[in-house]
Amino acid sequence: MFKSIYYYIDKFNRDEIDKLDISISIIYRNYTDKINIKEIKNLLNCCKKRNRKVYISNNLKLALKFNFNGIYIPSSNKLLNFKNIAKKKFEVIGSAHNINEIINKEKQGCTQIFLCPVFKTKKNKSFLGPTKFNLIRLCARKDIIALGGINNETIKYLKMCNIKGFAGISWIKKNGPSINTGPF
């Protein structure tokens, strides 16, 4: 069984979040629209009431101001200003595609690194696969989360990967409230 499961959202939808297993953490990443403070507050209230962890992508100022559980740093963000955040129980997590990006995420202070894409996706035809994923994973000193192309067919291959968990969007959304009933 996987310890950490993350679900990406780009807008707040209470019904969608309520259908998810309570152990699934939320990563809010909205790169297209202007930040809606009311939406952020609603998201936080919804998640905090259910004791669900919630992270915001790439916005340290909002993460600290609104008391998110942490910040998610995408692979494109190379800045090193996240390591010494003096806030108790604040997590820095981020994504990487290769060894150099893993090293950068460790320098940024990430406690968990999302390595992607593990499997083929519509957006990304080039992917790591379990063998290359595990070889790259050996270079990491932090916990690794699998990301990319996870579905009913590929979830069984995650058992072959030395990971703490996985993250996704469509498969988690489709398989809804209790993903722990899946083929893990």
Residue 65 lies in a domain: yes
The one-digit pLDDT tens for each residue of the chain (184 residues) are 688 999 999 999 999 999 899 999 999 998 888 889 999 999 999 999 999 999 999 999 999 999 999 999 999 998 887 766 767 789 999 999 999 999 999 999 999 999 999 998 877 778 988 889 989 999 899 999 999 998 888 888 888 888 999 998 888 877 754 444 344 4
Identify the CA nearest to 114 among candidates 55, 37, 61: 55
Residue 40: both structure tokens together:
């952020």
pLDDT (0 to 100) of residue 184: 41
Please give the full DSSP string across 74-108, using - where no structure is assigned: -TT-----STT---TT-EEEEEESSHHHHHHHHHT
Residue 82 lies in a domain: yes
Say how far apart CA 14 and CA 67 lie, in whole Å: 19
Residue 77 lies in a domain: yes
Per the structure, how many domains does the chain have?
1
pLDDT per position as a tens digit, 103-127: 999 999 999 999 999 998 877 778 9
Q: Which domain holds residue 10?
A: 4-176
Residue 182 lies in a domain: no
Q: What is the CATH number of the domain that holds 76?
A: 3.20.20.70
Residue 183 lies in a domain: no
pLDDT (0 to 100) of residue 86: 65
pLDDT (0 to 100) of residue 155: 87
Q: Which helix (H) or strand (E) holds 112?
A: strand 112-115
pTM higher than 0.95 for the full model?
no
pLDDT (0 to 100) of residue 42: 97
Residue 127 lies in a domain: yes
pLDDT (0 to 100) of residue 181: 39
